[in-house]
Amino acid sequence: MKALGDPVSVRHQMTAVHRAVLETGGPVLKFNHPVLDNGARARMPVVVNVFGTVERVAAGLGVAPDGLDELGAFLAALRSPSAPDGLRDALSRWPMLKAALATRPKVVSRAPVQQVVSEKADLNALPVQTHWPGDAGPLITWPVVLTRPFGSEAADVNRMNAGVYRAQVIGHDRIIMRWLAHRGGAAHHRSWQAAGQKMPVAIVLGADPATLLSAALPLPETVSELGFAGVFSGARPRLVKARAVPLLVPADAETVIEGWVHPTETAPEGPFGDHTGYYNQAEPFPVMQVSAITSRTEPIYLSTYTGRPPDEPAIIGEVFNRLTLPIIRGQIPEIRDLWLPPAACSYRIAVIAIDKRYPGQARRVMMALWGMLAQFSYTKMIVVVDADIDPRNWDDIAWALATRMDPGRDVTVLEGTPMDYLDFASPKAGLAGKIGIDATNKIGAETTRDWGEVMQTAPEDAAFAADLLARRGLA
């Protein structure tokens, strides 16, 4: 971590410094003297770029980068568990079972996050950043938002949802909660709306990396994000009763904002710079009335920015790409590899390498992926290549497109499909087309011509060249 003692404004300046460091693969930054909008210095430092590299994201998940594939297999097993095949297989799964048992939270009576309790909330004292010149105001960017459905008990952790949503500060005690309709927080809010009741909400600031990443992972609905954080940290999560709302909150967080969301009150949220690299339009979202703020005695404020990649969410997306691959293979087994280019806003384009065995297989894989997970309904372009192509290498992809794809035969275009409403290229908000490109070798009924043979160096000649160059110091 690199500590900066210079005064840096939370309005625009902090984002500019963070972005310059992230784009060079730089360290975690700690701003010791954040300057608020009113010119005063904030009482807490700001830490950014925690997830600025793949290695640091993996560390937050409790693994080295080479352990991501095993963790992905674990997540796939959670979604589609299979019975152990004999005693040896059962024993080989013991580490996974042990980690799952460790997810049971422990409720404590006293917690570091409640060393300071303020029932007279002042959000303006927090070093909440205004990131871009066109932003509507201060925006909390790494909040873990805790909710539960109407009719549930405060102690029922398994029914709680932890999500990372955008939260706009619009006063000393009011926050706009931007949760989209398909997210867990929005579903819980609808249940309280139906009952005509306000919903308790807790916003966790400075959650540990395991909790924050669990809140962002595409976990099965039956798996608690708060509990699952124990798989990454290797310890049972510690929770404590919130002071002003009926919820449990992480005991070891830095700060917790507690309050209530009215069943019908909304306010226009935005515009804000988004992951697309554009400002989104203002739209109405629910408003949270803050009841209390609790914190450590000397808390830190964890923050980030969202913009055109690279940014921290895009880097997390690279890791999640690897974690979801075993889940995808469980449904579409012929997929060898899949890449979601970060520059394409993480999910707008997908490149898939497959083991091709029959005509039309590339199109089948496209359709299967578009319909498999909700996030892939927003993937506007899929390129399918053979297993000998590296889907993460643009040169390989360009070669496959140039030599194995005919535009008149191998392009599939769909119209009127779901799309992220932030995609301004769409003819209609939330509704757009999709394109699939088959850049695989054509077999069977797909072609009437003899297909070309790929040139390759013979293995013995490659070994001879490697040995010769090594002996001459040229390798």
Q: What pLDDT does 387 receive?
A: 97
Kindly report the CA angle at 349 between 348 and 355, in degrees rounded to 5? 140
pLDDT digit string (tens) for 153-177?
999 988 999 999 999 999 999 999 9
What pLDDT, on a 0 to 100 scale, did the predictor assign at position 182? 77
Q: Which residues make Cβ contacts (< 8 Å) with residue 378, sequence separation at least 6?
A: 347, 348, 418, 419, 420, 423
Last residue of a domain, one of 302, 323, 347: 302
Give yes or no: residues 396 and 439 share one domain.
yes
Whether this model's pTM surpasses 0.85:
yes
pLDDT tens for residues 348-406? 999 999 999 999 999 999 999 999 877 788 899 999 999 999 999 999 999 999 999 99
pLDDT computed for residue 71 by the predictor: 84
- The count of structural domains within the chain is 2
Is 315 domain-assigned?
Answer: no
Catalytic residue among 274, 337, 410, 420: 274
CA count, 13 A, side-chain hemisphere, 467 = 6
Rounded CA-CA distance 230/234 in Å is 5
Is 274 noted as a catalytic residue in this protein?
yes
Band the pLDDT of 87: cuts 50, 70, 90. Answer: very low
* pLDDT tens profile 235-281: 788 999 999 999 999 999 999 999 999 999 999 999 999 998 999 98
Looking at the domain assignment, is residue 323 inside a domain? Answer: no
Is 420 in the same domain as 344?
yes
Kindly state whether residue 316 falls inside one of the protein's structural domains. Answer: no
Rounded to whole angstroms, the Cα distance separating 53 from 109 reads 36
Q: Of 372, 336, 331, 365, whose CA–CA distance to 353 is shortest?
A: 336
Kindly state whether residue 307 falls inside one of the protein's structural domains: no
Which CATH number covers residue 234?
2.30.110.10
Its domain, for residue 294, covers: 2-302
At 392, which CATH number?
3.40.1670.10
| CB-CB neighbours of 194 under 10 Å | 10
> Chain centroid to CA 343: how far?
15
Cα end-to-end span (Å), the chain = 36
Integer Cα distance of 361 and 385 in angstroms: 11
Same-domain pairing of 354 and 402: yes
Query: From CA 277, how far away is CA 263, in angstroms rounded?
Result: 32
* pLDDT at residue 313, as a whole number: 93
Do 62 and 231 touch, CB atoms closer than 8 A?
Answer: yes
Name the pLDDT band for 148 (thresholds 50, 70, 90).
Answer: very high
Res 82 pLDDT > 70: no
Nearest one of 226, 223, 247, 243 to 235, comparing CA atoms: 226
My answer on whether 158 and 228 are in the same domain is yes
> In the prediction, which pLDDT does 96 show?
57
The pLDDT score that the predictor gives to residue 98 is: 57
363: left (phi over 0), alpha (psi -120 to 50) or beta: alpha
- At 288-347, the pLDDT tens digits run 999 999 999 999 999 999 999 999 999 999 998 888 898 899 899 999 999 999 999 878
